[in-house]
Structure 1
Amino acid sequence: MSVKRILTIAGMAVAAAVLLIVLFTTWYTVDEGEQAIIITFGEADETVTDSGLKFKLPWPVQSVEKLSKETFSTTFGYNQDASGELISYDKETKMITGDEYIVIADLVVQWKITEPVKYLFNSENPRELLHDATAASIRSIIGSSPIDDALTDGKAEIEAETRDLLADLIDRYDIGIAIQGVKLQDVELPNAEVRDAFTAVTDARETKSTKINQARKYENQRKNEAAGERDAVLSKAQGDKTARIEQANGDVAVFNKLYAEYSNNKEITRERLILETLEQVLPGAKLYIMNDDGGTMKYLPLAPMGQQTQATPQDSENEKEGGEGDGK
């Protein structure tokens, strides 16, 4: 085989290789959950966030780096192996509280890549930098918090302060990451006996809160009942007051009318008052009024004429007594 033929074959092979490189490196795809960075001769050129089939200059002129747009979760203090079993790192999770107690704390940090160029080029290993910043943040916050807050009802505040401090550190590092949230998984004491003691303290606090709430509920109930009884008494007293005032006003009006009648005709009014008084004193009795020649009026409780009644011995005795009285 001649040299010319060998060179020809070699040239064709090189051309075919170049053609394959051009063919397979001039197009790429971007998924919905991805973002791509076009790198031209090692320098970031543009960021592509739209999904679909895209084209670029062939390698080695341009290359593509794809990064996820989803939210990442980074664990601190533990990890999972291939079988899903948790692996704890006690050395990095042990920390000292503000009142010099030792606690074990692990957490999860949620974050997103917001600036892909900075994520790729501003740090050699941004994930490791994030892990170190997380360790510094949680140790700083736990180190300024009392153990009661770390173990009981202060966890939410510790999470918020850790998130703020970590976000501030990441902004200073400028590695294109945004912190979405920090969640404490476990904060506990390394010694089982001390853990039991704090559990008892927590239970006692919960019991105390329950008793206080029950007492306040009873207090409010009794106050409402007392207020209701008070309002009922006041309402009844107001009603009695109004009724008595109206009755007094009515009695005054009646008296004024009687007095006016009395002033106009004293004799008739006096007789009328006597009759009305007798009606009240002797309800249901039949009265006959007799006037003798001497001008003296007599009021006799006699049955009406024509009424057919059978006299009883008691009635006869009363009539006799009445007759004797008349004789007198």
Structure 2
Amino acid sequence: MMKNVLKIGGGVAAVALGVTLMGTFYTLEEGEQAVIVQFGRPVGAPVTEAGLHGKLPFVQEVRRFEKRILVWDGDPNQIPTKGREFIWVDTTARWRIADAKKFLESVATEAGARSRLNDIIDSVVRDQVSGSELVELVRSASWVIPKDELLAEVPAEAQAELKKEVVRGREELTRTILAKAREVVPQYGIELVDVRIKRLDYVESVREKVYARMISERKRIAARFRSEGEGQSAEILGTMEKELRQIRSTAYRRVQEVRGKADAEATRVYGAAYGADPEFYAFSRTLEAYKEGQNKNSTVILTTESDYYRYLKRANAAPAVRTKR
């Protein structure tokens, strides 16, 4: 019986010793840091080295925190620029827990830290954006004004925008936001590593006006190209008509020259033919005159004294004479 009691007592002691040892030692992984809390209050310095560490069992507990860089993404905010253009600004940041003890005392958790960063970063971003021109937000300080030959193809309104000088630029603006926010966050045990503007966009009402202006500008450029095309088309058609008139004139002159030469040659041939027999020529001309002047419904009455009758008699008598010969 005594042996059983001793065995049970030994087992209980072993369990108690094991529980005590488990409550005394703890391990930290790489990328972790810890704060020892006793009765709800942090004690000692934060533990930042990975490995096996000890604490008082039962009265102390371990609060673990990330040692790596964390991501903060804010909600897009509608902010007016210095020129009163309303834009959506979407910001992101990288941060880490620099002082775990102060972090635990001020914000307690990562969710609390993100909530505090929302207030700090959004406030700084709003101040900087509202005090800057839109051109400073969308361009860098290395912006170079386009050359005159490129600006010639751009509308006058857009030229004024392109010629604006960039004093700070987007990079300088983000550096200013980071510096201003860094002045506030150390009291929460936070180190702000970087702040970036992810996206800028017009609000819906302004976006519609911008799109309408872009469409109007595209239509104006299309109309200018169309007008230039119509002018070139009219010029080409005018040149074509001029060349066609020259070709027709040259062809007509050539036709008249050929026709004149042909008429002259025909006249020469007729003259040579009719000159060989004048009486035959007179007879032929008489026949042509009768043919041209005769009406289909008219009757020609000839006397025996008429030249036409005389020619007919000679024409009928000539074969008879030749027969007698």
Give the TM-score, by structure 2 length.
0.48
Higher helix share: 2
